[in-house]
């Protein structure tokens, strides 16, 4: 026997089942607060507001730097001009470009940062693979020493390092940065060793055992099985290592003794270099040092790193998700 459905007329004069209001309330509740399979409108709005706030905190310094760097001297003196300059003024970048000696210092910065980073990444991957896949005496001691190199501040070991480099004639030479990286003792190498250790430790041993049964050597196993699986770790290590070598000026200045000047080093003495190029009393008001010129030099200093990130953004995000590593 068919069940009887009770109907009633709604406010619009349309007949509907009595339980229709309950269905509508449930749909509205799901739309606002979500359910087990989807998020509601309120959650999404709060999430996007939080992300916008976090993004603003990170992007505000860059936006302020860029907007100020393209202001003309008249815009800088005009309190009414805040975020939108009256004109795009490139004179600040021209002055900063000359003061930084940009082409020469950019080439030196790339040599100082990229070359040691490549050697450091390769060596740290080998060390991480050996610690993850082989058992030998003293393994725990090596782990302790690796962690000690990361925990102990570099300022505590810089004097014995400097004396050692001077004894071997490495001070003032690019090999003062390359040789430690080749030996697995570059800037923050312990982090990269641990990244590769965790990556190789998660690989199934069945693949290696099958390769050994087929007669593959240890080097063949590493190049054909382990290395392709660790591509995300390689990308993470190269990017972070390059950034840290680029930004590290304290140790670099000590080890290179001014023999090679990078962009961050030149930026640290930007005021002195500007006054040498534009002596006070010999220039007009438009060529005097101001905040726009300083910020132009700062923006030119970080521009290569921004370009590096945007070029590798896709692989960088994927690598972070797969390795579970967060930047500093």
Task: Give the tens place of pLDDT for each residue, 191-249.
Answer: 888 888 888 888 888 877 787 887 778 788 888 888 888 888 888 888 888 888 888 88
pLDDT classification of 119: cutoffs 50, 70, 90? very high
Residue 328 pLDDT: 42
Task: Taking residues 138-158, report their average pLDDT.
Answer: 82
Most confident of 9-18, 72-81, 317-326: 72-81
With 0-12 CB in 10 A as exposed, 13-18 as middle and 19+ as buried, what is 2?
Answer: exposed
Angstrom distance (rounded) from CA 146 to CA 141: 9
Q: In terms of pLDDT, which residue wins out, 84 or 12?
A: 84
Q: What are the residues whose beta carbons fall under 8 Å from the beta carbon of 58, sequence distance 6 or more?
A: none
Q: Cα–Cα distance between 262 and 269 in angstroms, integer?
A: 11
For residues 63, 66, 67, 68, the Cα torsion angle rounded to the nearest 10 degrees is 120
Report the pLDDT value the prediction gives residue 13, as an integer from 0 to 100.
58
pLDDT at 10 over 80: no
pLDDT tops 80 at residue 320? no
Domains of the chain, first to last: 27-93 (no CATH), 96-323 (1.10.3720.10)
Least confident residue range of 6-15, 17-26, 126-135, 189-198: 6-15
Mean pLDDT score across all residues of the chain: 78
Better-scored residue on pLDDT, 33 or 319: 33
Most confident of 27-36, 38-47, 240-249, 304-313: 240-249
Residue 69 pLDDT? 84
Q: Which of 15-29, 40-54, 231-245 has the lowest average pLDDT?
A: 15-29
Q: What is the pLDDT of residue 327?
A: 42
Residue 325 phi/psi, 5-degree rounding, is -105, 135
- Inter-CA distances, 147 with 100, 131, 156, 186, Å: 38, 13, 15, 14
- Of the pLDDT bands very low, low, confident and very high (cuts 50, 70, 90), residue 326 is very low
Model confidence over 120-138: pLDDT tens digits? 999 998 888 888 888 888 8
H-type helices in 14-69, by residue range? 20-33, 41-69
What's the pLDDT score for residue 2? 46
């Amino acid at each position: 026997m068919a069940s009887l459905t009770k109907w009633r007329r709604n406010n619009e004069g349309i007949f509907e089942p009595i339980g229709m209001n309950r269905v509508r309330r449930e749909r509205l509740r799901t739309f606002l607060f979500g359910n087990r399979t989807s998020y509601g409108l309120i959650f999404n709005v709060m999430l996007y507001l939080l992300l916008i706030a976090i993004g603003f905190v990170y992007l505000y310094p860059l936006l302020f730097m860029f907007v100020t760097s393209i202001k003309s001297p008249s815009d800088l003196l005009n309190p009414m001009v805040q975020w939108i300059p009256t004109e795009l003024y490139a004179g600040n970048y021209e002055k900063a470009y000359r003061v930084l000696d940009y082409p020469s210092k950019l080439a030196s910065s790339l040599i100082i940062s990229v070359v040691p980073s490549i050697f450091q990444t390769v060596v740290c991957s080998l060390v991480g693979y050996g610690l993850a896949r082989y058992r030998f005496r003293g393994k725990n001691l090596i782990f302790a020493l690796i962690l000690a190199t990361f925990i102990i501040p570099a300022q505590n070991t810089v004097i014995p390092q400097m004396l050692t480099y001077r004894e071997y004639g490495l001070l003032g030479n690019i090999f003062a940065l390359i040789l430690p990286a080749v030996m697995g003792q570059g800037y923050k190498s312990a982090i990269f060793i641990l990244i590769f250790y965790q990556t190789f430790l998660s690989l199934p041993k069945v693949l290696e055992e099958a390769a050994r049964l087929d007669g593959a050597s240890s080097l063949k196993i590493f190049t054909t099985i382990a290395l392709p699986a660790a591509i995300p770790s390689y990308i993470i290590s190269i990017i972070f290592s390059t950034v840290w070598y680029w930004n590290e000026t304290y140790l670099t200045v000590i080890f290179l003794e001014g023999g090679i000047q990078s962009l961050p080093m030149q930026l640290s003495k930007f005021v002195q270099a500007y006054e040498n190029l534009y002596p006070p009393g010999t220039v007009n008001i438009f060529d005097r040092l101001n905040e726009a010129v300083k910020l132009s030099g700062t923006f030119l200093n970080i521009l290569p790193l921004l370009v590096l990130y945007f070029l590798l953004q896709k692989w960088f995000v994927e690598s972070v998700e797969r390795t579970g590593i967060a930047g500093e």
